[in-house]
């Protein structure tokens, strides 16, 4: 008997095999046989183990399956991935703000560093110093 | 009863760069000695009836250039067959990446036989896999070969078992767990993997071969 149980998206995505399967499906439908062959070759795991991962993806809503004759075709189903994406969006906002702030801070430090470098250069008059400087300024 | 510690220590494991026909490769090497004459080991590795008793039922045209398919396992083409020293085959699971397996036999000093098994896969695929998902897959493949070579030892020793189910026995699981740890060490030595990454990869392998050992059965 198979029940559809709610599983937290990150538990599903926490497994490398399941992430790899979703990656394979991201280009379009794949037969269960194709997915199984690729995963077995790459992860060295058994056929029942691959089936188990496919089942988790199906029951958690990350993948859909349809029959085509004797073949079973798997595809990515987007709603759970969109949920993950929405959740991550909050942190993307957080990080881009932080990264912007870091960028501002680095820009602020630039004239200060340049002054320091110029001082060093006049003191040392080294060729190496000039070389590295021109690289940094680009 | 399997002497698990001795069985683990009986095998030398190494990660290398053995090429594949199409180019650069990443490879696993296993080496161990069997207490049987070379003709017997060769025969156990090439006779379809005997292969089915320690590995899996095999179908196909078992000669140079012919193809084979192991039941619920890999299939491929026989690239080299030099009795009683060398077998080389392509090894693939359906549409999975094409890999190559080479088995080399050499007579040992006291009537035994040294077997070397080298399994090579295209470097660009393996490198990308390891970069994206860590070396768990390499451990999974190594553990699978360890179990296979242990099965051959039990078979040459006269044991009778069902190769499709004996990997589920408690002692096979214990053996596989230790095998994953041993492969973790071999991978870390070759690739300089971080402690955290190798621990996660070992856990991946153990969870696959011995899910009960961790009380995690989902």
Q: What is the DSSP string of B77-124?
A: EEEEEETTTEEEEEEB-TTSPPEEEEEEEEE-TTS-EEEEEEEEEEHH
| B132 in Cβ contact with B24 (< 8 Å) | no
Q: How many domains does chain B have?
A: 1
| B97 in Cβ contact with B10 (< 8 Å) | no
Is B218 a member of any domain?
Answer: no
Is B43 a member of any domain?
Answer: yes
The answer to whether the Cβ–Cβ distance between B93 and A40 falls below 8 Å is: yes
The mean pLDDT value for B155-170 works out to 93
Is B217 a member of any domain?
Answer: no
Question: Chain A: nearest CA to B34, how far in angstroms?
Answer: 24
Looking at per-residue pLDDT, the higher value among B149 and A111 belongs to B149
The answer to whether the Cβ–Cβ distance between B134 and A47 falls below 8 Å is: no
Look at residue A134 in the predicted model and tell me its pLDDT: 43
Is B215 a member of any domain?
Answer: no
Residues in B closer than 8 angstroms to A74, CB to CB, are: none
The answer to which of A52-66, A99-113, B96-110 has the lowest mean pLDDT is A99-113
3-state SS string for chain A: CCCCCCCCHHHHHCCHHHHHHHHHHCCCCEEHHHHHHHHHHHHCCCHHHHHHHHHHHHHCCCEEEEEECCEEEEEECHHHHHHHHHHHHHHHHHHHHHHHHHHHHHHHHHHHHHHHHHHHHHHHCCHHHHHHHHHHHC
Is B136 a member of any domain?
Answer: yes
> Is residue A120 predicted with pLDDT exceeding 80?
no
Looking at per-residue pLDDT, the higher value among A124 and B67 belongs to B67
The answer to whether the Cβ–Cβ distance between B97 and A49 falls below 8 Å is: no
Instruction: Give Cβ neighbours of residue A52 (< 8 Å, ≥ 6 apart).
Output: none
The answer to which of A62-71, A118-127, B109-118, B191-200 has the lowest mean pLDDT is A118-127
Residues in B closer than 8 angstroms to A44, CB to CB, are: 137-144, 208
Of B92, B94, B140, the CB nearest to A43: B140
Look at residue A67 in the predicted model and tell me its pLDDT: 96
> B80 in the Ramachandran plot: left (φ > 0), alpha (ψ -120 to 50) or beta?
beta
Residues of chain B with pLDDT > 70, as a percent, come to 96
How far is it, in rounded angstroms, from Cα B19 to Cα B21? 7
Look at residue A129 in the predicted model and tell me its pLDDT: 45
* Residues of A engaging B, defined by a Cβ cutoff of 8 Å: 16, 19-20, 33-34, 36-47, 49, 56
| A112 in Cβ contact with A105 (< 8 Å) | no
The answer to which of A134-138, B75-79, B208-212 has the lowest mean pLDDT is A134-138
Strand B113-122 relative to strand B25-34: parallel, antiparallel, unpaired?
Answer: antiparallel
The mean pLDDT value for B130-149 works out to 97
Average confidence score pLDDT of chain B: 94
Of B95, B125, B137, the CB nearest to A34: B95
> Is residue A138 predicted with pLDDT exceeding 70?
no
Is B12 a member of any domain?
Answer: yes
Mutation to test the B interface, candidates A45, A51, A52, most B Cβ within 10 Å: A45
Altogether, the residues listed in chain B come to a count of 218
How far is it, in rounded angstroms, from Cα B85 to Cα B130? 33
Is B41 a member of any domain?
Answer: yes
Of B74, B99, B140, the CB nearest to A45: B140
Average confidence score pLDDT of chain A: 81
The answer to whether the Cβ–Cβ distance between B136 and A49 falls below 8 Å is: no
The answer to whether the Cβ–Cβ distance between B143 and A16 falls below 8 Å is: no
State the pLDDT confidence band at B81, using cuts at 50, 70 and 90: very high
Residues in A closer than 8 angstroms to B140, CB to CB, are: 43-45
How far is it, in rounded angstroms, from Cα B44 to Cα A7? 46
The mean pLDDT value for B48-71 works out to 97
The mean pLDDT value for A26-31 works out to 94
CATH number at residue B186: 3.30.530.20
The reply to whether B123 touches chain A by the CB within 8 Å rule is: no
State the pLDDT confidence band at A121, using cuts at 50, 70 and 90: low
The tens digit of pLDDT for each residue in A65-81 reads: 999 999 999 999 988 88
Which residue range is the domain that position B171 belongs to?
Answer: 4-210
| B186 in Cβ contact with B142 (< 8 Å) | yes
Look at residue A80 in the predicted model and tell me its pLDDT: 85
How far is the CA of A30 from the CAs of A24, A137, B56, in angstroms? 8, 49, 27
The answer to which of A117-126, B53-62, B156-165, B191-200 has the lowest mean pLDDT is A117-126
The distance in angstroms from the start CA to the end CA of chain A is 64
How many A/B residue pairs have CB atoms within 8 Å? 62
Look at residue B203 in the predicted model and tell me its pLDDT: 97
Q: Which residue of chain B has the CA closest to A14?
A: B133
Helix (H) or strand (E) run with residue B25 in it: strand B25-34
The reply to whether B97 touches chain A by the CB within 8 Å rule is: yes
Is B195 a member of any domain?
Answer: yes
């Amino acid at each position: 008997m198979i029940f559809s149980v709610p599983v937290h998206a990150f538990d599903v995505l926490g497994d490398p095999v399941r992430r790899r399967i979703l990656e394979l499906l991201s280009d379009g439908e794949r037969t269960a046989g194709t997915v199984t062959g690729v995963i077995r070759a790459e992860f060295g795991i058994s056929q029942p183990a691959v089936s188990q991962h496919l089942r988790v993806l199906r029951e958690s809503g990350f993948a859909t399956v349809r029959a085509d004759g004797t073949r079973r075709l798997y595809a990515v189903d987007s709603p759970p991935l969109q949920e993950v994406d929405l959740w991550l969006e909050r942190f993307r906002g957080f990080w881009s703000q932080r990264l912007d702030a870091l960028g501002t801070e680095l820009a602020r430090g630039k004239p200060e560093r340049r002054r320091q470098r110029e001082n060093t250069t006049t003191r040392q008059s080294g060729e190496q110093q000039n070389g590295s400087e021109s690289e940094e300024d680009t | 009863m399997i002497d698990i510690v001795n069985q683990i220590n009986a095998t030398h494991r190494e990660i290398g760069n053995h090429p594949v026909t199409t180019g650069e490769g990443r490879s696993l090497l296993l080496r161990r000695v069997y207490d049987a004459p070379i003709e017997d080991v060769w025969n156990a590795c090439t006779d379809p009836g005997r292969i089915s008793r320690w590995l899996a039922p095999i179908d196909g045209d078992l000669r140079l250039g012919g193809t084979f398919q192991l039941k619920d396992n890999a299939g491929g083409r026989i690239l080299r067959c030099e009795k009683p020293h060398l077998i080389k085959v392509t090894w693939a699971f359906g549409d999975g990446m094409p890999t190559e397996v080479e088995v080399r036999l050499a007579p040992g000093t006291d009537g035994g036989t040294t077997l070397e098994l080298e399994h090579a896969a295209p470097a660009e695929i393996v490198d990308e896999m390891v970069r994206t998902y860590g070396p768990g897959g390499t451990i999974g493949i190594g553990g699978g070969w360890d179990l296979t070579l242990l099965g051959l030892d039990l078979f040459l020793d006269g044991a009778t078992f069902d190769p499709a189910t004996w990997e589920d026995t408690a002692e096979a699981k214990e053996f596989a767990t230790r095998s994953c740890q041993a492969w973790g060490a071999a991978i870390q030595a070759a690739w300089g993997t971080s402690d955290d990454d190798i621990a996660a990869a070992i856990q991946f392998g153990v969870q696959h071969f011995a899910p009960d050992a961790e009380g995690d059965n989902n």
